[in-house]
């Protein structure tokens, strides 16, 4: 790749970035999907020739999120927001560095995006309620304490709110082997977010992958976690995220009897555009940043 070509791609990228803004608030149509694919191609080429363009990767993800939703509301899902120098496992996909997260949130604010929770999304999807222009949802799965410590102050400053999909046994401080690598938010902390306008929603009791258990146990995980969230937050939240996105039609049939909406995954590299059923939403894992402590593992902590 020669310098001239890179510059040309950069100019096109800027042009496409300018095209991005009008897309917010409008339904993605064929032309928009074409534009997005073009954008993604350019972003991936730039990424190859100039590694380290984290913001560019984020814009790419955001665009894919629009296409994947095929609606006005893209959903970005985070898990943990760590201090930049904190050590976790190598190439940890659930991690985003605080500095990177801040950049991403500031970028959304610059685009004029406004956050909504899954309460508003369900109202808009199922009850035809109005939704904010330029709406976007910011999700956090697994109720980790560093969401409260690190993500919330940044989001609060920007007037953003999020949805926490809560593993209720962790919030109850019930021992949960395999899920205790990082401190969890308990109900008191979760209710501070609730009071800040966030939505607290169920994500099973134990984070069992529901495709790997029998249907009775799966139903129990769904119902119990739903009931516990309502009981401890005092607010009904029939919005469910499958652990690790593991779902199938039999599970979906159960979920529909309990919840208003369910959440699936899409990937930023999959060019196929799948329109989810009305009650279901796709969501995307944003890029986690480059300085993810390669070469370390948890044993060095």
Residues binding Zn ion (CB under 5 A): 141-142, 243
Question: In 10 A of CB 179, how many CB atoms?
Answer: 15
Which of residues 24 and 204 has its CB atom nearest to Zn ion in the complex?
A: 204
Closest residue to Zn ion using C-beta atoms = 141
Min CB(203)–Zn ion separation in Å: 6
Min CB(168)–Zn ion separation in Å: 12
Min CB(243)–Zn ion separation in Å: 5
Min CB(259)–Zn ion separation in Å: 16
Whole-number Å distance between alpha carbons of 201 and 241: 8
Residue 275 Cα to chain centre, angstroms = 18
Which of residues 246 and 258 has its CB atom nearest to Zn ion in the complex?
A: 246
Which of residues 100 and 141 has its CB atom nearest to Zn ion in the complex?
A: 141
Which of residues 203 and 260 has its CB atom nearest to Zn ion in the complex?
A: 203
CB-neighbour burial class of residue 281 (10 A; exposed 0-12, middle 13-18, buried 19+): buried
Whole-number Å distance between alpha carbons of 54 and 103: 9
Nearest to 192 by CA among 226, 225, 159, 156: 156
Q: Can you name the residues that pair with 81 across neighbouring β-strands? A: 96
Is 54:97 a contact under the CB 8 Å cutoff?
Answer: no
Min CB(242)–Zn ion separation in Å: 8
Which of residues 60 and 283 has its CB atom nearest to Zn ion in the complex?
A: 283
């Amino acid at each position: 790749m020669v310098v001239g070509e890179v510059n040309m791609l950069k100019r096109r990228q800027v042009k496409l970035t300018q095209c991005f803004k009008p897309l917010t608030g409008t339904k993605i149509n064929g032309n928009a999907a074409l534009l997005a694919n073009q954008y993604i191609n350019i972003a991936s080429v730039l990424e190859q020739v100039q590694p380290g363009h984290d913001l560019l990767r984020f814009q790419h993800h955001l665009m894919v999120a629009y296409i994947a939703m095929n609606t006005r509301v893209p959903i970005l899902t985070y898990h943990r927001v760590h201090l930049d120098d904190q050590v976790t496992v190598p190439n940890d996909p659930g991690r985003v560095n605080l500095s990177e997260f801040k950049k991403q949130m500031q970028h959304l604010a610059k685009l004029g995006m406004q956050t909504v929770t899954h309460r508003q999304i369900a109202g808009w999807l199922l009850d035809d309620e109005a939704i904010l222009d330029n709406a976007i949802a910011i999700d956090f799965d697994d109720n980790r304490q560093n969401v409260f410590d690190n993500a919330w102050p940044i989001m609060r400053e920007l007037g953003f709110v999020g949805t926490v999909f809560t593993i209720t046994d962790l919030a109850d401080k019930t021992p949960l082997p395999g899920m205790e690598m990082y401190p969890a938010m308990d109900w008191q902390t979760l209710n501070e977010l609730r009071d800040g306008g966030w939505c607290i929603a169920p994500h099973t009791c134990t984070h069992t992958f529901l495709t790997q258990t029998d249907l009775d146990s799966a139903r129990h995980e769904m119902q119990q976690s739903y009931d516990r969230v309502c009981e401890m937050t005092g607010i009904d939240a029939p919005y469910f995220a499958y652990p690790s996105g593991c779902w199938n039609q039999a599970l979906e049939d159960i979920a529909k009897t309990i919840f208003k909406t369910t959440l699936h995954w899409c990937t930023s590299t999959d060019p196929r555009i799948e329109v989810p059923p009305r009650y279901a939403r796709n969501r995307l894992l944003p890029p986690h940043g480059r300085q993810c402590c390669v070469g370390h593992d948890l044993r060095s902590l």
